[in-house]
Chain A
Amino acid sequence: MDRAAVLAEVQELLVTGLRLDRAPADIADDSPIFGEGLGLDSIDALELVVLVEDRFRVSIPDEEVGKRAFASVGSLVDFIVAERAQQ
């Protein structure tokens, strides 16, 4: 799975999984996931962890990894690509 494909899946996952009211393609690569970016809060992150782990077969075991992975949409995509490359 290349980066563009992962990005498209993440965009889709955010919209359908977290029921965001916007088109997947409108979610920018550099958009912060929490706070002003997508309007999500830290409790939404719990569901995002579960969705991402399930969809991409990666592990986000704790907040240390979570903070890095969820800094922005782009960092989440980079995290998934890097994790999958190691598998």
Chain B
Amino acid sequence: MSLLAGHRVLVTGGSRGIGRATALACAAAGAAVAFNYSRDEDDDEARATLAALQETGARVHATQADVADADAVAAMFAGVREALGGPPDVLVNNAAISHDGLLMMLPDAAWQRVLDVDLTGAARCCRAALRGMIAGRWGRIVNVASPAAFFGKEGASAYAAAKGGLVALTKSLAREVARYRITVNAVSPGFVQTRLISELDQTQRQALERQIPLGRFAEPDEVATVIVFLASPAASYLTGTTVHVDGGLTML
């Protein structure tokens, strides 16, 4: 498969889950792939993901950087340019955190941290990537949103607000850069088989599964394959939209 042959991809938050699956799927589709991760405790996971990427034979790169830190993002883009032989022409904004807690009791700092990573971090990475995309007059940005952006989510108001903002950013930026053959889209993954889901007990699992028309959780690969498509030249007439990869949960 060579849907992304000749392209350079940066996936933020790429050490595990959807980010990892996306990085691997992009490499398998022929792209040079870089990813970042933020926390020291994710070092081992990131190393394992990098090793898996290297096995594909693609040009790959991993770096530790917090997207909430402007200097770190600048350094990350410089490193990616160097490692992949040019600036990324595909950006997947996947890095995100959440903070469990009801809004009335949420400390300002917790709210701010979630917005800094999930929304401002994504916007910052877009800004850093756009110069290279405009110079090449081609680009793909895929933002990973969430059903929380559309339904809200109790106990995760900052996360939901950030993801809602990310959807609005997707639409606005799509309008701004369409002229340069740069498309900006979002995917909204529903319940995905991740560490979080695996910690639920049987009753909780079944309660969630009953809400999903397809009756099961997604594998990360099922989200990654949609991201690869949106990142590819094949998705040339899609922009500003959200693809709900959620087993029919949302149907928007």
CA distance in complex: A36, B134 (Å): 24
Contact of B176 with A50 in the complex, beta carbons under 8 Å = no
Q: Which A residues touch B134, using CB under 8 A? A: 46-47, 50
CA distance in complex: A29, B177 (Å): 29
Q: Which B residues touch A47, using CB under 8 A? A: 134, 180
Grouping DSSP codes into helix (H, G, I), strand (E, B) and loop, the A interface class, with mixed when no group exceeds half, is: helix
A-B contact count (CB 8 A): 16
Contact of A49 with B131 in the complex, beta carbons under 8 Å = yes
Q: Which A residues touch B180, using CB under 8 A? A: 46-47
Interface size on B, residues (CB 8 A): 8
Q: Which residue of B lies closest to A41 (CB)?
A: B179
Which residues in chain A, 38-78, are within 8 Å of chain B measured between CB atoms?
Answer: 43, 46-47, 49-50, 53-54
As a 0/1 sequence over residues 23 to 44 of chain A, the CB contacts with chain B under 8 angstroms (1 = contact) are 0000000000000000000010
Q: Which A residues touch B176, using CB under 8 A? A: 43, 46
As a 0/1 sequence over residues 161 to 190 of chain B, the CB contacts with chain A under 8 angstroms (1 = contact) are 000000000000000110110000000000
Q: Closest Cβ of chain A: how far from B144's Cβ, in Å?
A: 25
Interface size on A, residues (CB 8 A): 7
A43, A49, A50, A54: most-surrounded residue (chain B CB, <10 A): A50
Contact of A54 with B177 in the complex, beta carbons under 8 Å = no
Contact of B131 with A53 in the complex, beta carbons under 8 Å = yes
Q: Which B residues touch A50, using CB under 8 A? A: 131, 134-135
Q: Which residue of A lies closest to B178 (CB)?
A: A43
Q: Which residue of A lies closest to B134 (CB)?
A: A50
B90 within 8 A of A: no
Q: Which residue of A lies closest to B182 (CB)?
A: A46
Q: Which A residues touch B130, using CB under 8 A? A: 46
Contact of A54 with B179 in the complex, beta carbons under 8 Å = no
CA distance in complex: A49, B135 (Å): 10
CA distance in complex: A54, B132 (Å): 10
Q: Which B residues touch A54, using CB under 8 A? A: 135
A-B contact pairs, 8 of them (CB 8 A): A43-B176, A43-B177, A46-B134, A46-B177, A46-B180, A50-B131, A50-B134, A50-B135
B contact residues vs A (CB 8 Å cutoff): 130-131, 134-135, 176-177, 179-180
Add 13 more A-B contacts to A46-B130, A47-B134, A47-B180 (CB < 8 A): A43-B176, A43-B177, A43-B179, A46-B134, A46-B176, A46-B177, A46-B180, A49-B131, A50-B131, A50-B134, A50-B135, A53-B131, A54-B135
